[in-house]
A and B are shown apart, each in its own frame.
Chain A
Amino acid sequence: AQSVAQPEDQVNVAEGNPLTVKCTYSVSGNPYLFWYVQYPNRGLQFLLKYITGDNLVKGSYGFEAEFNKSQTSFHLKKPSALVSDSALYFCAVRVPWRNNRLAFGKGNQVVVIP
């Protein structure tokens, strides 16, 4: 079954430091992977996706993610975190035999410390 796992509950990082939010996946066939961000009291905003091609995917707000097939990972990264990046981050995978719905990880709370 298609699933993603976000092993950490909360990620704390100092402002200006690199930010990494981890995601591993388990899929049958080709993985279609997505990252979303949820700011407080807001809906989900699309950040980026991996479909095929380059393993390094660039997205919104300076975020990027690296698809690693051998490690079955799709970690989200930002070179220099901002306080405004404090939010809840969700990794998700498409489930082809379920109307291509998204299956989400549990989410990671990111706290950027000034």
Chain B
Amino acid sequence: GAGVSQSPSNKVTEKGKDVELRCDPISGHTALYWYRQSLGQGLEFLIYFQGNSAPDKSGLPSDRFSAERTGGSVSTLTIQRTQQEDSAVYLCASSLGTASGNTIYFGEGSWLTVV
């Protein structure tokens, strides 16, 4: 597609429920990142995928968070047993590769509210 596409754009869920957030990167982009933006925490790195390599999960805040990327394209971020502190904007981004000069392009985000 023309840009990074994320769905849902907004999600309100009850505490304890599981949620799935989807990201469709720019066509041909091999690198995919998930970031979280919450009040007072700024932009936090969550997870990184590059091609068929093992993902870098070092930013995931707890084992309730997981992500996968199928076929080197679409990615899904799953949050199990959501807590109120999970309320944030989840931003997906992609780039052509991991060279330092490559631009990372972001989607519009999935705005998650846990009530």
Closest to B92 in A: A43
Mark interface residues in B24-67 (1 if CB within 8 Å of A CB, else 0).
00000001010000000011010010100000101000000000
Check A32–B106 contact: CB distance below 8 A. Answer: no
Indicate whether A87 reaches chain B with its CB closer than 8 angstroms.
Answer: no
B42 in complex: contacting residue of A36, A51, A96, A104, CB < 8 Å:
A104
With A99-B50, A99-B56, A104-B42 known to touch, is A94 a contact of B100 (CB < 8 Å)?
A: yes
Indicate whether A74 reaches chain B with its CB closer than 8 angstroms.
Answer: no
Indicate whether A57 reaches chain B with its CB closer than 8 angstroms.
Answer: no
Check A44–B91 contact: CB distance below 8 A. Answer: yes
Check A104–B43 contact: CB distance below 8 A. Answer: yes
- B41 CB → nearest A CB, Å: 10
A residues 19-63 in Cβ contact with B at 8 Å: 30, 32, 34, 36, 41-46, 49, 51
B100 in complex: contacting residue of A41, A51, A103, A105, CB < 8 Å:
A51
State the CA gap A94–B58 with chains docked (Å).
16
State the CA gap A96–B100 with chains docked (Å).
7
Check B98–A99 contact: CB distance below 8 A. Answer: yes
State the CA gap A45–B100 with chains docked (Å).
18
- A35 CB → nearest B CB, Å: 11
Q: Return chain A residues, CB-CB under 8 Å to B43.
A: 90, 102, 104, 107
B residues 79-115 in Cβ contact with A at 8 Å: 91, 93, 98-109, 111
Q: Return chain B residues, CB-CB under 8 Å to A70.
A: none
Check B106–A43 contact: CB distance below 8 A. Answer: yes
Q: List 17 A-B contacts (CB under 8 A).
A: A34-B103, A36-B106, A41-B111, A43-B107, A44-B91, A46-B105, A49-B101, A51-B101, A90-B43, A99-B31, A99-B48, A99-B50, A100-B99, A102-B33, A102-B43, A105-B42, A106-B42
Pairs A-B, 5 closest by C-beta atoms: A44-B106, A43-B108, A104-B43, A51-B101, A32-B100
List B residues at the A interface (Cβ < 8 Å).
Answer: 4, 6, 31, 33, 42-43, 45, 48, 50, 56, 58, 91, 93, 98-109, 111
List A residues at the B interface (Cβ < 8 Å).
Answer: 30, 32, 34, 36, 41-46, 49, 51, 90, 94, 96, 98-107
